[in-house]
């Protein structure tokens, strides 16, 4: 199977009334864990690299993207490569050459008019270069370096505005604000399922849930039933990674070989990936 376009993965999930999970990766071990976890769950998956992760790697997108593409090709299931939360159009322009089939352009913290203008520019470039483009409307809070004003609790995407936004920008998918928030370390978020269903009914493009690490399993399953088609998960992997390292070093503080504790970190992350994929793809009754 190996590398599959994000567009195909999301389309197939939608046709099955399911969703595709997209995991944010920072290190090689994250990538290995996503591929292993997806194979264990026998499910397709999307590997995402965010602009913040690229910044962590000295602004270079290619090293991590090349590793992700190489590991994706070893998978027995479909793996998509997605460039996440791009604010810099120069970075977006590197996406196609780096092996990504899709990107999320993030102008969600701008005014509505500026969000539309910037997103139109990004979508036109993306489509001219064969990329599927996701955008955001109704800011999903909790990202580092975000303006404080954008963190207002209870931000929700407005249905009429979302419909106009999708028509005016020509984007292929929309990340919506329905109660989740980035970087949550507890799984306590309650989603607005009525709004998810309303948006899924009204919009001609698939819906994307960001900040899914903070959403409990049953809420995630209900969100998929209500119409979420791409579920983004980042923090949950970092919690598992850090837990694995911390447990190992607490047990054996003299260890200096990183392979020892990174193996545990990678195993814990793969277990999270497998669990999340079972949760998201499992059949649920609407509630």
Q: Which residues bind Zn ion (CB under 5 A)?
A: 210
- Residue with smaller CB distance to Zn ion, 52 or 164: 52
Q: How far apart are CA 95 and CA 113, in angstroms?
A: 25
Closest CA to 258 of 27, 55, 76, 1: 27
CB of 71 to Zn ion, least distance (A): 22
Nearest CB to Zn ion, comparing residues 81 and 262 = 81
| Active-site entry in 84, 106, 172, 192 | 84
- The set of residues, in sequence order, having a beta carbon less than 8 Å from that of 38 and lying 6+ positions away, is 44, 45, 75, 77, 79, 273, 274, 277
Instruction: In angstroms, give the least distance from the CB of 80 to Zn ion.
Output: 16
Beta strands, E only, the chain: 20-24, 45-50, 79-86, 102-105, 132-137, 173-176, 207-209, 228-233
> Residue 215 belongs to what H/E stretch?
none
* Residue 130 zone, left/alpha/beta (φ > 0; ψ -120 to 50; rest): left
Phi, psi dihedrals of residue 208, rounded to the nearest 5°: -120, 135
Q: Is 84 a catalytic residue?
A: yes
d(CA 173, CA 276): 21
CA distance 51 to 61: 8
Name the residue nearer to Zn ion (CB basis): 231 or 240: 231
Active site (catalytic) residues: 84
């Amino acid at each position: 199977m190996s590398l599959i376009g994000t567009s195909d993965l999301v389309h197939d999930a939608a046709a099955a009334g399911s969703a595709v999970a997209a995991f944010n990766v920072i290190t090689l071990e994250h990538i290995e864990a996503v591929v292993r976890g997806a194979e264990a769950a026998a499910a397709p998956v999307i590997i995402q690299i965010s602009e913040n992760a690229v910044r962590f790697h000295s602004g270079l997108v290619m090293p991590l993207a090349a590793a992700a593409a190489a590991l994706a090709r070893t998978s027995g299931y479909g793996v998509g490569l997605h460039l996440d939360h791009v604010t810099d159009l120069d970075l977006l322009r590197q996406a196609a050459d780096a092996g990504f089939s899709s990107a999320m352009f993030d102008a969600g913290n701008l005014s509505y008019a500026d969000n539309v203008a910037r997103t139109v520019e990004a979508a036109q470039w993306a489509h001219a270069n064969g990329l599927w483009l996701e955008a955001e409307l109704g800011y999903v809070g909790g990202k580092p370096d975000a303006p404080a004003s954008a963190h207002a609790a209870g931000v929700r995407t407005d249905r009429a505005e979302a419909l106009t936004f999708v028509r005016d920008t020509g984007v292929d998918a929309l990340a919506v604000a329905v109660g989740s928030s980035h970087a949550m370390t507890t799984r306590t978020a309650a989603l607005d399922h009525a709004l998810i269903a309303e948006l899924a009914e009204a919009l001609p493009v698939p819906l994307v849930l960001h900040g899914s690490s903070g959403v409990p399993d049953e809420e995630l399953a209900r969100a998929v039933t209500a119409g979420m088609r791409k579920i983004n998960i980042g923090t949950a992997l970092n919690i598992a990674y850090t837990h694995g390292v911390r447990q190992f070093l607490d047990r054996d503080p003299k260890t200096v070989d990183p392979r020892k504790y990174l193996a545990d970190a990678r195993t814990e992350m793969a277990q999270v990936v497998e669990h999340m994929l079972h949760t998201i793809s499992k059949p649920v009754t609407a509630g």
